């Protein structure tokens, strides 16, 4: 027993994480259901560090130091349960199973509970950054017990990405907290990608810019407050020319977006928690709608907005306005993600440090951005921060951006360009800042058809109006 960690599941993610541990000086036991993959890995990368290849579960477990630390990197879903069932009987009390797959946090909660009863720590861990991140330093979001983090934390922090010398890994909270936060990361990622795509669409269709010109604009934006991995890669994609046809690459790609489902989980879960994550939801629905070929064919003949050609000066100004709209919408989308994490923490009893979440997303993951350091700082300055918009710096930026933001959404509507995420973010802003909402009328409607009762602005209690009999007094229903 010489390995400090074992990795089972040696497809791209598992193999690269195992190599990352080995490069950081750990002895790593490696195992895969199909032994061929283990042999291939050792042949190709065995010289990179200290690996202990194992072909059977028993040999794998026997190679691990106690308390055993066993990282599962298999296809998320039933395979994870099968692997747990295979290994758990071979483990002893105090051993740790880490699931680094993209599990649904509810599955992680279930597995953690079941394994806890058997004395085994189950550490559901979000891992972000794809195969490159796994190899060179991912953003790591471990859940599970504090006791397990005391042992695993230093190892996970060591292999994670680092920003300003600090690891992109922290103990998120108990049981499913890590996988929950990873899910929200992906929901935010969907929103950010959609917002950037809408900005591109506007600059092209309204601003009259070419993909190459828009790439240059994004590169410029990437030097300012929008500095992020997603803006950087978007510029590269837009600048790319299809070698076969000589056309811009974006023009030869089918416009039907796909997803693996973590955005959908975020939206489904948000509805259960009552978290208004509208920009994330619209981004998810935008992907879904893009793939609905038959609906798009039915709508295609219908009229759109009026297209006006902008003068060069107007186009310049419009580009500046789109930057403001993109930034403001991005603040709202991220704020929605944090709201959801806060709501889940309250629901599931997780003690989540909201600033630390921003901190560990500054590197290694897809939404890494300079901006996250601002979010970290805002939470560090005020641990009770309810919303980013309650922080003076963000509030000032939104105040400054909002005229341009409104102008961009209005222009998009006039031109018939869909901006579901920009619009949802702006509507969320206007909803949450309104002194009075028409929700009062909804309560009246509900009371009318279903006697669902309402609360008054001027008195305590629940009331019902006897709508069928005008003139009859309102009744108080909670006494």
Annotated catalytic residues are 182, 189
State which residue, 355 or 363, has the beta carbon closest to ligand NDP: 363
On whether the CB atoms of residues 3 and 31 are closer than 8 A, the answer is: no
Q: What is the DSSP letter of 169?
A: B
Angle of helix 177-205 relative to helix 420-433, nearest 10 degrees? 110
Measured from each CB, the residue nearest to ligand NDP is 101
Helix (H, G, I), strand (E, B) or coil at 136: helix
State which residue, 184 or 426, has the beta carbon closest to ligand NDP: 184
On whether the CB atoms of residues 394 and 344 are closer than 8 A, the answer is: no
State which residue, 39 or 476, has the beta carbon closest to ligand NDP: 39
Least distance in angstroms from the C-beta of 426 to ligand NDP: 32
Between CA 384 and CA 382 the distance in angstroms is 5
DSSP 213-249: HHHHHHHHHTTTTT-BHHHHHHHHHHH-B-TTT-SBH
Least distance in angstroms from the C-beta of 192 to ligand NDP: 17
State which residue, 79 or 114, has the beta carbon closest to ligand NDP: 79
Least distance in angstroms from the C-beta of 147 to ligand NDP: 25
Q: What is the DSSP letter of 11?
A: S
Between CA 218 and CA 237 the distance in angstroms is 11
Least distance in angstroms from the C-beta of 95 to ligand NDP: 19
The helix (run of H) or strand (run of E) holding residue 264 is helix 262-273
State which residue, 155 or 421, has the beta carbon closest to ligand NDP: 155
Between CA 204 and CA 307 the distance in angstroms is 12
Neighbours of 247 (CB within 10 A): 11
Reading the block at residue 25, the tokens are 């000086």
Tell me phi and psi for residue 394, to 5 degrees: -65, -40
Task: Tell me how long the chain is.
Answer: 479
State which residue, 131 or 205, has the beta carbon closest to ligand NDP: 131
Site residues, ligand NDP (CB under 6 A): 9-14, 32-34, 37, 73-76, 79, 82-83, 101-102, 127, 130-131
State which residue, 54 or 127, has the beta carbon closest to ligand NDP: 127
Least distance in angstroms from the C-beta of 8 to ligand NDP: 7
Least distance in angstroms from the C-beta of 336 to ligand NDP: 22
On whether the CB atoms of residues 193 and 283 are closer than 8 A, the answer is: yes
On whether the CB atoms of residues 194 and 202 are closer than 8 A, the answer is: no
Least distance in angstroms from the C-beta of 34 to ligand NDP: 3
Q: What sign has the CA pseudo-torsion 460, 461, 465, 471?
A: negative
Tell me phi and psi for residue 432, to 5 degrees: -75, -20
């Amino acid at each position: 027993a010489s390995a400090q960690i074992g990795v089972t599941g040696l497809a791209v993610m598992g193999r690269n994480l195992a190599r990352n541990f080995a490069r950081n000086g750990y002895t790593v036991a490696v195992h895969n259901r199909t032994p061929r993959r283990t042999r291939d890995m050792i042949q190709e990368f065995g010289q990179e560090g200290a690996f202990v290849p194992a072909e059977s579960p028993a040999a794998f477990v026997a190679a691990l130091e106690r308390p055993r630390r066993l990282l599962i990197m298999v296809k998320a879903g039933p395979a994870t349960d099968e692997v747990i069932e295979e290994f758990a009987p071979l483990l002893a009390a105090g051993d740790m199973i880490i699931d680094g797959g993209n599990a649904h946090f509810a599955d992680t909660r279930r597995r953690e509970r079941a394994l806890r009863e058997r004395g085994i720590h189950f550490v559901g861990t979000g891992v972000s950054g794809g195969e490159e991140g796994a190899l060179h330093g991912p953003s790591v979001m471990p859940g599970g017990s504090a006791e397990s983090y005391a042992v695993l934390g230093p190892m996970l922090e060591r292999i994670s990405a680092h920003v300003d010398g600090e690891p992109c890994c922290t103990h998120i909270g108990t049981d499913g907290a890590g996988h929950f936060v990873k899910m929200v990361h992906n929901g935010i990622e969907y929103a950010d990608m959609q917002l950037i795509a809408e900005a591109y669409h506007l600059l092209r269709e309204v601003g009259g810019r070419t993909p190459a010109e828009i790439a240059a604009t994004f590169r410029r934006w990437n030097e300012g407050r929008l500095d992020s991995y997603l803006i950087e890669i978007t510029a590269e994609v837009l600048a790319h020319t299809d070698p076969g046809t000589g056309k811009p690459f974006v023009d030869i790609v089918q416009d039907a977006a796909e997803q693996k489902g973590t955005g959908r989980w975020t939206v489904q879960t948000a509805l259960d928690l009552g978290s208004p994550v509208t920009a994330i939801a619209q981004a998810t629905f935008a992907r879904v709608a893009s793939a609905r070929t038959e609906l798009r064919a039915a709508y295609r003949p219908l009229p759109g907005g009026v297209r006006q050609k902008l003068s060069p000066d107007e186009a310049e100004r419009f580009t500046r306005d789109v930057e403001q709209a993109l930034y403001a919408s991005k603040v709202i989308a991220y704020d929605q993600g944090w709201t959801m994490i806060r709501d889940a923490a309250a629901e599931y009893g997780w003690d989540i440090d909201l600033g630390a979440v921003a901190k560990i997303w500054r590197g290694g993951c897809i939404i890494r951005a300079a901006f996250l350091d601002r979010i970290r700082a805002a939470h560090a300055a005020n641990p009770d921060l309810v919303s980013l918009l309650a922080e003076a710096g963000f509030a000032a930026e939104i105040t400054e951006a909002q005229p341009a933001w409104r102008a961009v959404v209005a222009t998009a509507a006039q031109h018939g360009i869909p901006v579901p995420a920009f619009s949802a973010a702006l509507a969320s802003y206007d909803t949450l800042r309104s002194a009075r909402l028409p929700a009062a009328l909804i309560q009246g409607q509900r009371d009318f058809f279903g006697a669902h009762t309402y609360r008054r602005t001027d008195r305590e209690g629940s009331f019902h109006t006897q709508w069928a009999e005008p003139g009859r007094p309102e009744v108080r229903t909670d006494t």
